[in-house]
Amino acid sequence: MRKLFLITVLSICFIAGYSQQDAKAKEILEKVTKTTQSLSSIEAKFTFEMNNKAENIQEKNSGTIILKGKKYKLNIPMMGLQVTCDGKTIWTYMVNSNEVSISSLDESTDDLMDPTRIFTIYERGFNYKFGSESADAGVPVYNINLTPQKATGDVRSIKLMIDKQKMLIRGADISGKDGNSYKVSISQFKTDGVFKDSDFVFDASKYKDVEIVDMR
């Protein structure tokens, strides 16, 4: 579950059978999808919190993510983690060990493990229902409740917070079956930035004596 948004955050095809879903939630989420698909790129800052009351565990990290189609670049300085993907290859660079592992993007990978779906996570594998309207740090939001369509997996439920004005996902509260709870908050959106394809390729020549582990 930690990998959900650490080598993310929190996801592209529509769920078949929209008529079986909550009508109001469907309308809101379709608007979110339309907004997301209209953008050439998304750049955002986020915070990721994990809590387990039973084991008295509390962790908090922050980072940035840039999305352009299936390409992405994720940076979490507090963990010394950088993940770069050009849509076919993924480079995971660990700053402390000066090591980069290279793997191929697997199209069969669970949607929750793919950072490019952080803003469209609801579109596959979930039932959804409108919850309420509220405010998050003064920003009016819609709350949409998600439950997995399949009993397998680590997620018990997800509450999405959607910015009513921007019609983009602002955050998510995630309940895991392992007793962990997760909170993702997205801030400082920048959209339609200009990024070259080379921005989503890890350049080993810029890292002196980097150890390369090719797992393809």
| Amino acid in position 161 | M
50's enclosing H/E stretch is strand 42-52
Q: What is the pTM of this model?
A: 0.76
Which pLDDT score, from 0 to 100, does residue 120 have? 67
Rounded Cα–Cα distance for residues 136 and 149 (Å) = 28
DSSP per-residue string spanning 7-34: -------PPS-GGGS-HHHHHHHHHHHH
Mean pLDDT of 111-134: 73
pLDDT tens-digit readout, 67-118: 898 899 999 898 899 999 998 999 999 999 999 999 987 754 544 455 556 6
Band of residue 205 on the pLDDT scale cut at 50, 70, 90: very high
Residue 26 has pLDDT above 70, yes or no: yes
Band of residue 9 on the pLDDT scale cut at 50, 70, 90: very low
Q: Of 52, 29, 65, which is closest to residue 185 (Cα–Cα)?
A: 65
Spell out the domain ranges in the chain. 3-197
Q: What is the CA radius of gyration of the chain?
A: 17
Which pLDDT score, from 0 to 100, does residue 1 have? 41
> Taking a C-beta distance cutoff of 8 angstroms, is the pair 139, 146 a contact?
no
Q: Which fold has domain 3-197?
A: outer membrane lipoprotein receptor (LolB), chain A (2.50.20)
pLDDT tens-digit readout, 144-202: 998 888 877 778 888 999 999 999 888 888 888 888 888 888 888 898 899 999 999 99
